Amino acid sequence: MEEKYTRLLEKADAWIAAHKEEFISEIQGLVRIPSVSRADLAEPGAPFGPDCRKVLDYALERGRFYGFETIDHDGYAGSVCLGDADAENSIGMIAHLDVVPVGDGWIYPPFDATYLPEYDAIVGRGTDDNKGPAVLGLFAMRMLREFGWPLKHGIRLICGMSEETGMQDMTALLNKGEKFPKLSLVPDSGFPVNYAQKGSIGGELEIPCEGNLIAFDAGSVRNVVPDHAECTLAVDIETVKNAVAALDPELVSALNVTVSGKGTVVTATGRAAHAAGPAAGISAIQLLTRALTQSGLLEGSCARAAASVCELTSDPFGESEGVAFRDEASGELTLVYGVAHLRDGVLQLSIDSRVPISCDPSELCGRLTAGAWANLGFTVARRSTSKPFYIPKDDPRVTGLQELYKAITGSDAQPYSMGGGTYSRVVPNAITFGAGLPTAVNPSDFLPEGHGACHGKDEVLIMEKIYTATKIYLLALAFLDEILD
């Protein structure tokens, strides 16, 4: 590492040590706003609902508090700017302030931003994904300014409002002709450099579902393997209990049978996981439809609907649909059905597929529509596809960032591909870089199994990660400012 970067890193160590309380309080302020993106609650200036408008106003106010110029991009996003305000002559950091829905089963209140001093950790929805990384971007800008670091380019922190629901924020800005930085870093995954992201298929399937199945509800967001599913049957509770008791013991242990005013309720409990890594999860939809199918309790078209959903959810890698595929650059295809609702005699099922970079998402969606989905009785009510992201591993921007990461952490970790989608898939010249890091403290040290993940219960941010990631970003911005024209 060049001596000037070594000196910059030494200053950063001292600055971060003196500002740890500010890191914590700024993250807590953002996390305490329940900013689930809700396009269905759109208002003028608030295309993703009032809570996203509130968190955007708060973030821009904090930027002004620290002396930066701010820009409100019509409620779709906001920018905090250092130096040259011309977007095309700037280096960007693009984070998002919207969060996934909370779900049940939290130990700590999801929007209290509880600080645990013994672990130097904050628990709350959005701490890790992606409000903590947004604050690290702001603080890296503060250090560049306070240290008097000479910059050829402006630095711009862009905060989006709908990353978790399909990145309509950045798509809308692009369609409006908004200019973006000549290079942006996206702190929404792990270190070091992400060089490939799979394409995607999203949408919704429908299948007729009438008979003695009165209600069926599971999941809250399509990009998560659901950990809860519940149905109501027009069958007496003793008949249901006897049928369930005859199932495999492993399946029975995941089920609960109760009675309500409308009928008998059967609940299944699985394990949540991000749809990009579904092997870590257990689909509650699969558990419940398997129980319904094997028990023989259903009558009418709901029997076929449950059996068809059971078959689709039997694996998360496209094997049951006959489209399993992998390539060397980006790994295997994933295909997750995370949300299900019974409405007016129709069972609706969400689609979330991450498609390897050598496979065309549109062509694959056509195969599924005419093949497995149609054969099982489904029609496609809604569909969308997105292309993959790819940057060569030998690109000088990649190699330079890799070297900086190694110099600070000592790690030989190599560039990686992933199934998750970030703003790199939408925004021109954007590279996903961090902010995930291994830490000495782990969520499992103080939270039970199944808690602590970014889309799960008791999402937690270990502050050690943010302190280190801030230093990496500080040097990355200084490095990119030097090498870019």
The percent of the chain in helix, strand and coil, each rounded to the nearest 5, is: 35, 25, 35
Nearest 5°: phi and psi at 24?
Answer: -65, -45
CATH architecture of 199-386: 2-Layer Sandwich (3.30)
Identify the pLDDT of residue 77. 98
Contact call for residues 216 and 234 (beta carbons, < 8 A):
no
Q: What is the DSSP letter of 99?
A: B
Nearest CA to 231 out of 262, 265, 255 is that of: 265
Q: What is the DSSP letter of 441?
A: S
148, 150, 151, 154 alpha-carbon torsion, rounded to 10°? 20
**Which residues pair with residue 440 across a beta bridge?**
none
Contact call for residues 82 and 119 (beta carbons, < 8 A):
no
Q: Report d(CA 23, CA 17) in Å as an integer.
A: 10
Left, alpha or beta for 271 (phi > 0: left; psi -120 to 50: alpha)?
beta
List the alpha helices (DSSP H) in 176-283: 237-245, 249-252
**Which residues pair with residue 183 across a beta bridge?**
91
Q: How far apart are the first and last CA of the chain?
A: 21
Identify the pLDDT of residue 191. 97
Contact call for residues 205 and 349 (beta carbons, < 8 A):
yes
Identify the pLDDT of residue 189. 95
CB-CB neighbours of 353 under 10 Å = 26
Identify the pLDDT of residue 428. 92
Identify the pLDDT of residue 359. 93
Residues with Cβ within 8 Å of residue 325, at least 6 apart in sequence = 318, 332, 333, 356, 359
Q: What is the DSSP letter of 337?
A: -
Left, alpha or beta for 167 (phi > 0: left; psi -120 to 50: alpha)?
left
**Which residues pair with residue 355 across a beta bridge?**
199
Report the chain (485 residues): mean pLDDT per 10 consecutive residues: 92 98 98 98 98 98 98 98 93 97 94 98 98 98 98 98 94 96 96 94 97 96 93 97 96 97 96 92 98 98 98 97 93 96 98 94 96 98 91 91 94 90 92 95 94 93 98 97 93
Q: Report d(CA 384, CA 3) in Å as an integer.
A: 49
Structure tokens at 161: 């409002």
Identify the pLDDT of residue 450. 87
Identify the pLDDT of residue 232. 98
Q: Where do we find the tokens 């990660």?
A: 465
180, 407, 470, 273 alpha-carbon torsion, rounded to 10°? 80
Regarding the domain delimited by 3-197+389-483, which CATH topology (the fold level of the hierarchy) does it fall under?
Answer: Aminopeptidase (3.40.630)
Q: Report d(CA 449, CA 293) in Å as an integer.
A: 29
Nearest CA to 125 out of 100, 153, 157, 147 is that of: 100
List Cα–Cα distances, 408 to 221, 400, 467, in angstroms. 37, 13, 12
pTM higher than 0.75, yes or no?
Answer: yes
Identify the pLDDT of residue 103. 86
Give me the helix-helix angle, 396-409 and 463-483, nearest 10°: 140
Identify the pLDDT of residue 328. 87
Structure tokens at 34: 């329940």
Domain boundaries, the chain: 3-197+389-483, 199-386
